Amino acid sequence: MSRGIDVEHQDRHVIITLNHPPLNILEKGHIATLCQILGEVREQDDVDLVWIRAGETKAFCAGVSIEDHLRDRAYPMLDAFRNLAEIMMALPQVILTEVFGAVLGGGMELVLVSDLVISADDAKFGQPEILLAQTPPVAAALLPHRVGWQEACRICLLGESMSAAWAKDKGLLTQVVPRAQLPQAAREMATRILKMSGPALRTTKRSLQGPEGNRLAALRYSFQVYLADLLPTHDSQEGLEAFLAKRQPMWTHR
């Protein structure tokens, strides 16, 4: 397993802990590890719940490594992240995600492909990719259907951060609790889920998901557009390089 991702198999559930201080920035190796873990879990009939959380870090996840967005690394990273999103969207088990602090970029996209999300009241959600001349492919595919067109545009085109209260109001969160109560609230939610019949959980989730075709088509289209139309541009690389150099980007708009 990749350093920074811990996994524990308990009675009828698997706990995945992001443990890459300080902000749980996801590197390509972490993404590959998550794909491996979830790919194995998908085939395990004795697992009914996947619980994703963060360790003793400052945030749940502040996104994917900027370095892994640079052109020489971006194609394999984006392919891995697309694979992760597809696995999570198709996973037969319930996905419970527990978040706090920064939930940004790829971190927020993990929330969007989760089934139940418990958040601390200090969490900040956002897709800041546009500020670096990038695009959030999972959010672009899923957010319009979750929060409406105008809100999706505000999040993805302006790069604004949103509060936990906003995310709860828009239906992205199951529950918001004070930060100190988050671990207990997540445990209580996990206990409630695990009291249910395993076959009933899987069947109900599959019914809620409906046919996969449209959702997967939207997701794959979003990644295709990113790779073909944005990644080859000057601005796409300039935004990343400026961020790493801690300077203002100089857009050429091409």
pLDDT in tens, 4-43: 999 999 999 999 999 999 999 999 999 999 999 999 999 9
Instruction: Specify the residue for token string 């203002």.
Output: 248
pLDDT tens, residue by residue, 83-104: 999 999 999 999 999 999 999 9
Task: Count how many domains the chain has.
Answer: 1
DSSP state of 8: E
pLDDT number for residue 88: 97
Structural domain that includes position 115: 5-198
For 47, phi then psi, to 5°, come to -115, 125
Does residue 229 form part of some domain?
no
Does residue 161 form part of some domain?
yes
Does residue 244 form part of some domain?
no
pTM above 0.85, yes or no: yes
Contact present, 79 and 28 (Cβ < 8 Å): no
pLDDT tens, residue by residue, 108-144: 999 999 999 999 999 999 999 999 999 999 999 999 9
For 83, phi then psi, to 5°, come to -60, -40
Percent of all residues in the chain with a pLDDT value above 70, rounded to a whole number: 98
Buried b / exposed e over 190-206, threshold 16 CB at 10 Å, is beebbeeebeebbeebe
Does residue 25 form part of some domain?
yes
Provide the CATH number for the domain around residue 15. Answer: 3.90.226.10
Distance (Å, whole) CA 142 – CA 84: 15
pLDDT tens, residue by residue, 180-234: 999 999 999 999 999 999 999 999 999 998 876 678 899 999 999 999 999 999 9
Does residue 105 form part of some domain?
yes
Does residue 64 form part of some domain?
yes
Does residue 157 form part of some domain?
yes
Instruction: Report the mean per-residue pLDDT for the chain.
Output: 96
Burial of 85: CB neighbours in 10 Å, binned 0-12, 13-18, 19+: buried
pLDDT tens, residue by residue, 137-175: 999 999 999 999 999 999 999 999 999 999 999 999 999
Residue 2 has pLDDT above 80, yes or no: no
pLDDT number for residue 212: 66
Does residue 45 form part of some domain?
yes
